[in-house]
Amino acid sequence: MTRRTLLALPFALTLRADSARDVWDLLGDAASALSDGNAAGFLEAFDPKMPGYEKLRADVEALVQETEPDPRNLGGRDGIFCSIGPVSDKGDDSERDLELDWILDIRQRQGATGATRRQQNVRIRVEKQGKKWRIVSFDPAGFFAPPDAH
């Protein structure tokens, strides 16, 4: 995880089931990838067969392209800041339903509208596919749309 991704570590440390920890790792890795401007890395967390996946992919790729690098991060594109906090987590070792408080701070390239903060409770469903967890539903679908499209 990058220094730019804040996760609710106290919650993560209290998780008891390995499946819950694995899902939290998946979410942390996805948020870190997005914070690093890595759309492909972020999208690896999602099942490409998920309803709305193509729109999600287009939104995330457009969002990453429109962001401005953070001058404080010497070596990377850091125009997106993700923070995820748990609201609820229910499920078992094969599927889980989560509600998350997700914050996106987005700094667009110069000439665009500047900075945007988006905070919303999102609902996701994850399923274990083989040995990997994947996000199979995400609501609201347009959460990652670029600011001009949101």
53: left (phi over 0), alpha (psi -120 to 50) or beta: alpha
**For 42-84, how does the pLDDT look when each residue is reduced to its tens digit (9 = 90+)?**
999 999 999 999 999 999 999 998 886 555 554 444 589 999 9
Cα dihedral 16, 139, 143, 88 sign: negative
What's the mean pLDDT when you consider all of the chain?
Answer: 83
Would you place residue 12 in the very low, low, confident or very high pLDDT band (cuts 50, 70, 90)? very low
> Is position 149 within any domain?
no
> Is position 150 within any domain?
no
> Is position 118 within any domain?
yes
**Phi, psi angles (nearest 5°) of residue 134:** -140, 145
Instruction: Name the residue range of residue 64's domain.
Output: 6-144
The two counts, helices (H) then strands (E), for the chain are: 4, 5
> Is position 117 within any domain?
yes
Q: What is the CATH number of the domain that holds 69?
A: 3.10.450.50
Residue 127: strand, helix, or coil: strand
The total number of structural domains that make up the chain: 1
> Is position 96 within any domain?
yes
CA distance to 3, 44, 67, 145, per residue, from 150 (Å): 27, 23, 15, 6
Torsion of CA 136, 141, 147, 150, to 10 degrees: 180
Q: What is the pTM of this model?
A: 0.80
> Is position 113 within any domain?
yes
At position 105, the amino acid (one-letter code) is: D
- 46: nearest Cα among 29, 62, 63: 29
> Is position 84 within any domain?
yes
> Is position 138 within any domain?
yes
